[in-house]
Amino acid sequence: MDVYCRHRTVALSRIGIARQIGFQEASMIIRRMNVYLAILMALLAFIAQASEEDVAVRDVKISEQDINNLRQPKRGFLVGGQPDTKDLDALAKAGVRYVINMRPQAEHPGFDEAAEVAKRGMSYYALPIASADDLTLTKVRTLDAMLRNAGEGGVFLHCASGNRVGAMMALRAGLIHGKDTEDAIATGKAWGMTRLEPAVRRLLGDL
């Protein structure tokens, strides 16, 4: 009887220990799951915040800008005439990250635009288009590479009025993206093309 009781006591003790170990393991698993869940929630919050900041950068506001012929043909992309230093301040504050200048050196604005752009934390690209003779496939490909590098937005493109920018965007639409002539011309006009339309049509093979 005593032996039986001792064996029963030992068995019950082992069961109790096993249950205790099982409970401890379950508690540990739950704690780990809570930690993983907290990490996941923090990661999701970080991604959401980054996405909001990204949208804020690309959703450029233009209401307070005072640039000749300024327009926003696409979300996050601005085109217009020559900015001055105050305009560059406003563009940087609005979220512009890249400035693409299509004016040649001969059309100097009276200040070092590249230096002023860099001073405000933006990247500067020069793609000089002096006349219709500069509307070449090589330069269109260069513009396409610049825009692909810029990503989804935060870009300001300019010449003196937007005409050359629009012409280059029309050629990009037709020669790079394969749009038909009328669609490419419509794209160019949306980006500011005016007087260069005949030259663009000729280059697209419509004349």
Q: Sketch the domain layout of the chain as residue ranges.
A: 1-58, 71-203
* Pair 114, 179: CB distance under 8 Å: no
**Angle, nearest 10°, between helix axes 137-150 and 163-171?**
90
For the segment 155-177, the average pLDDT, to the nearest whole number, is 97
Q: What is the mean pLDDT of the chain?
A: 82
More confident residue, 117 or 56: 117
For residue 40, is pLDDT > 90? no
Examine the pLDDT at 10 and tell me if it is beyond 50. Answer: no
Domain at 71-203, CATH homologous superfamily: Protein tyrosine phosphatase superfamily (3.90.190.10)
pLDDT of res. 153: 84
Adjacent-strand bridge partners of 78? 156
Higher-pLDDT residue of 24, 103: 103
Q: Using only C-alpha atoms, what is the Rg of the chain?
A: 31
In contact, 131 and 106? CB cutoff 8 Å? no
Supply the pLDDT for residue 57.
Answer: 43
Are 103 and 83 in contact by the 8 Å Cβ rule? The answer is no
Quickly state the pLDDT bin for 100 (edges 50, 70, 90).
very high
In which band, very low, low, confident or very high, does the pLDDT at 24 lie, cut at 50, 70 and 90? low
Cα dihedral sign, 156-162-168-174: positive
Q: What is the pTM of this model?
A: 0.70
Is residue 203 over pLDDT 90?
A: yes
Closest CA to 184 of 145, 175, 136, 141: 175
Rounded to whole angstroms, how far apart are CA atoms 153 and 62? Answer: 14
**Predicted pLDDT of residue 152:** 77
Q: What is the DSSP letter of 64?
A: T
Per-residue confidence at 137, pLDDT binned at 50, 70, 90?
Answer: very high
pLDDT for res 60: 56
> Average of pLDDT values for 11-18?
51
